[in-house]
Amino acid sequence: MNAPAKTEDFAASIPAGVFAETVLSVQHYTDRLFRFRMTRPAGFRFRSGEFAMIGLMVGDKPIYRAYSIASPAWDEELEFFSIKVPDGPLTSHLQAIKPGDTVLMRKKPTGTLVLDALTPGKRLYMFSTGTGIAPFASLIRDPETYEKFEDVILTHTCRDVAELKYGQDLVEEIRNDDMLSEIVGNKLRLYSTVTREDYPFKGRITDLIENGKLFSDLGVPPLNPEIDRGMICGSAAMLKDTKELLEKAGMQEGANNKPSEFVIERAFVG
Ligand code: A2P
């Protein structure tokens, strides 16, 4: 009789009005980064690039943090890419989840890194550092991205090479997927750089924009507000510095209710 009683206790402890989903898989990349996939609640709708509040019961209290949904809107499952903060109120517990465990999710997704917040353009830049790649993991798997843009450039900058693997695997998965590879064709390019280790592509994305190396490496002209659009996701400092460079190039920040040339969102941690 112990097992049912425990299940009932657990069910009773789940806060009302939130989804309680089941972890399906967990993959650890480094001692700082991991991804997990979980069930998607029936009727849960979101736009690729949005975030949701993800949580766990810690003791008898739920703890939530904002997480970009890394899977595309059409996916039957939900994917998240997370940092592990040793003393993080949520991630110190979340990093220990295993298949079969329960993860909480608040019902309303939101966010500005959505295609609707950009005016039409030709080339879409997605600038990311660290776990800031998560919303773009969603968007690069969404066919709408390629209906709206003919050239999609995802930049991912991390401290070291091992941290690039999530993004590199993702692009490989797209290339190996019959349906997605047909939609994506050769429109998607991943530009990965590291800042604290040797690698063919080195440096902060801000420096590479400023000195023009990003553009010469890709064989594209410098930023042009008439054809280029941007999305930025990273730490507060990275957002500020990248935003300044885009503004210097004559691009304006947009929002859901006022689409423009670029949008930003903080990569959340904790
Ligand atoms: P750096 O190694 O020079 O600090 P983190 O894991 O700390 O979030 O950092 C992810 C990546 O973002 C690192 O490569 C880091 O470079 C880079 N970064 C940190 N601050 C900025 C900034 N203000 N502008 C651009 N890149 C940044």
- Options 3.40.50.300, 1.10.10.60, 2.40.30.10, 1.10.357.10; CATH for 8-106 is 2.40.30.10
Find residue 78's DSSP bridge partners: 38
Report percent pLDDT > 90 for the chain. 90
> Per residue in 109-158, pLDDT tens?
999 999 999 999 999 999 999 999 999 999 999 999 999 999 999 999 99
* Atom nearest to 131 CA in ligand 1: 8
pTM of the model: 0.94
> Per residue in 152-164, pLDDT tens?
999 999 999 999 9
Residues of the chain with CATH 2.40.30.10: 8-106
Per-residue model confidence (pLDDT) at position 197 = 96
Residues of the chain with CATH 3.40.50.80: 115-264
Report percent pLDDT > 70 for the chain. 95
Which residue has tokens 């930049």?
Answer: 155
Q: Which candidate, 146, 42, 112, places its Cα nearest to that of 266?
A: 112
CA-CA distance, 178 to 229, in Å (whole number)? 28
Contact, 164 vs 191, CB < 8 A? no
Per-residue model confidence (pLDDT) at position 267 = 83
Contact, 162 vs 169, CB < 8 A? no
CATH of domain 115-264: 3.40.50.80
Amino acid at 75: D
CA of 231 to the centre of ligand 1 (A): 17
CA of 111 to the centre of ligand 1 (A): 22
> Per residue in 74-100, pLDDT tens?
999 999 999 999 999 999 999 999 999
- Between the alpha carbon of residue 55 and those of residues 65, 105, 107, 189, the distances in Å are 6, 6, 12, 33
Which residue has tokens 């008439």?
Answer: 226
- Is 195's C-beta closer than 6 angstroms to any atom of ligand 1? yes
